[in-house]
Amino acid sequence: MNNNWHLNISNKNREEILETGKELFLKHSFHDVKITDICNIAGVSRVTFYKYFNIMDELIFEVQMDILKSMLMFIKEKSDFSSNGKESLKSVLYAWINFAKEHKEEMKFIVSFDLYYSSHDLNEELKLKYKSFTKEDYNQSLLKYALEKGIKDRSLKEDINLPKTGMYIYQTVMGLLQRMSYSPITFEYEPITFEEISFEVVDTLIKSIENVCN
C-alpha cells in the first residue's frame, strides 16, 4: 500500500507538471516559459521537476506528443467509417478540420514546435523517441486506413501510391490548417469562412484520387 501511495503521488506530480507546462505553452510561446514558472503554478519544486524531465526540451516534446495524441483521438471519435473508403477519408479530413477550428492554440503550438526544432540541434535520445512516436502514429494512421479501404473497395483509384498519397494529403491539410490557425482569413470581395476554404481543399484532394469509373 505504501508503494502504491508513493507511485500515485509520483504520477500525480508528473501529470501536474505536464498539464501546467501545456497550459503555459499554449498561452505563451514556449520560449518565454521558464522552469520556475511551471514549478510555481504546479506547486512542485525544481528538484521534483528534474526528477521527471532533465531539460525543458523533454517537457516540450511530451506536450507535443500529448497534443498529437489528443488530435488523433478527436479525429477517431468524430470520423465515420461505416461507408466506403472515399467517404471514410472525407470524414477523417472533415473531423481534422473541426479539431483545428476548435483547438487553434494547439495547432499554433504544433507550428512553433516544428519550426523551432527543425532548425535546432537536439540530443539523440529525444530525436529517436520522437521519430519512433511519429512512425508509430503513421502506422496506425486513420488516413492510411481510409486510403487502404478506398483502394480495396474501389471507391479510390487502385493505382495510387499509398505512402506518397497519404503524405501529400497530410502535408497539404496540416499546412493549410496551421496557416489558418495563425492568421485571420481576409478576402477582398466577400466573406469567406474557415470551413469553406478547408472543405474546398479537401474536396479537391478527394476528387484527385477518387475512382470516377466505379
pLDDT per residue as tens digits for the range 92-126: 999 999 999 999 999 999 989 888 887 777 778 88
Residue 58 CB neighbours (<10 A): 15
pLDDT of residue 5: 43
Spell 146-167 as b/e; 16+ CB within 10 A means b.
Answer: bbebbbeeebbbeebeeeebbe
pLDDT of residue 181: 82
- Domains of the chain from N-terminus onward: 1-53 (1.10.10.60), 57-209 (1.10.357.10)
**What tens digit of pLDDT does each residue of 58-83 get?**
999 999 999 999 999 999 999 999 99
pLDDT of residue 139: 47
Spell 16-47 as b/e; 16+ CB within 10 A means b.
Answer: bbbebbbbbbbeeebeebebeebbeebebeee
Residue 76 CB neighbours (<10 A): 14
pLDDT of residue 188: 62
For residue 12, name the pLDDT band (cuts at 50, 70, 90): confident
pLDDT of residue 180: 83
Rounded to 5, what percent of the chain is helix, strand, coil?
75, 0, 20
Say if CB 14 and CB 38 are below 8 A apart.
no
Name residue 210's beta-bridge partners: 156
Of 144, 139, 4, 30, the residue nearest 81 (C-alpha): 144
**What tens digit of pLDDT does each residue of 158-178 get?**
999 998 999 899 989 998 998
